[in-house]
Amino acid sequence: AETRPRIVITLPGTGGSPSLTTEVIADMWRRNLGVDVEIQQVEWATFLQDLHRNRLQAFSLAWQADYPDPHTFVDVLFRTGSSINNTNYSNSEVDELLRQANVEADPVRRIELYQEAEKMIVEDAAWLPLWWGVEGKVLVKQRVEGLTFPPLSVPIYQYVWIDG
């Protein structure tokens, strides 16, 4: 019998089922790439330890902007040596563009530098982004007050109250 390559997708979490998204991806890889795929869930501490020691073959994580600026994605996630560069991506040309962007005072030129870096990152296939959430339509009763929807984050419920 022919041995098929094996891919292990590791996810943080225990006791539950993997997300439908992960199961669908694993099924697509099995059918279209001819590989055996195992989905493995581990405790968060184990996941982080294995991630930082480069022990994971494939994994899924989410990231959202801390502030509305390309730095919070491009520099933080792809600069060589960044503590959150979980794929250990390294490209000296990208690093130089990011260094320039970090000190550039002209906002238009700064964005151009980040765009150049992003193009290189995409060409290098440093990541396989599965999706980017977009704000959907939300129905809220008129009595709900104080609910806000920041453009780069999830709704903020801290200051929500029901009127009446």
Stated pTM of the model: 0.70
The residue type of 61 is L
**Mutual angle of helices 92-103 and 107-124, in 10-degree steps:** 160
Averages of pLDDT over each 10 residues, the chain, 164 residues: 86 79 91 94 94 90 81 93 91 98 97 96 84 62 82 73 86
Q: Where are the domains of the chain?
A: 1-61
Return the percentage of the chain with pLDDT > 70, whole number. 89
**Residue ranges of the alpha helices (H) in the chain?**
20-33, 44-52, 74-78, 92-103, 107-124
pLDDT for the residue numbered 153: 61
